[in-house]
Amino acid sequence: SQQGEEDPQALSIQEGENATMNCSYKTSINNLQWYRQNSGRGLVHLILIRSNEREKHSGRLRVTLDTSKKSSSLLITASRAADTASYFCATDVQGAQKLVFGQGTRLTINP
């Protein structure tokens, strides 16, 4: 089962620009996580934000969480060609002990 939507489904920007991806979900959560996946490869965990947090930073990544709107955003600043990948949000569903993924955003960074 899918938790929600991510938008945009695909995003293409120039190297050096910032990339913003959004995620919406449907249920109460313990936390929300963002992952990166290069084509045909496994998942790389990027960042986790707990339900009582509103913003978190890690290097060039900034994540926000609005539990009232059931939405999150991932901002990648100063993008690099190596950031080209698919990005997924995943919600740790409260009371269910499972991680449910959004539909993902395919990000392309053009050199």
Partner 1 sequence: GAVVSQHPSRVICKSGTSVKIECRSLDFQATTMFWYRQFPKQSLMLMATSNEGSKATYEQGVEKDKFLINHASLTLSTLTVTSAHPEDSSFYICSALGQGPLNYGYTFGSGTRLTVV
What would the two tokens of residue 68 be?
Answer: 């009232």
Residue of 46, 100, 107, 109 interacting with partner 1 (CB under 8 A): 100
Instruction: Assess 40 for contact with partner 1 (CB under 8 A).
Output: yes
- Distance CA(8)–CA(19), nearest Å, equals 11
Instruction: Assess 28 for contact with partner 1 (CB under 8 A).
Output: no
26 with 5: CB under 8 angstroms?
no
Instruction: Assess 48 for contact with partner 1 (CB under 8 A).
Output: yes
49 with 31: CB under 8 angstroms?
yes
Q: Residue 38: which region, alpha, beta or left (left: phi > 0; alpha: psi -120 to 50)?
A: beta
Residues 53-92 that bind partner 1 (CB under 8 A): 88, 92
Instruction: Assess 11 for contact with partner 1 (CB under 8 A).
Output: no
Q: Which residues contact partner 1 by CB under 8 A?
A: 1-2, 33, 40-43, 45, 48, 88, 92, 97-104, 106
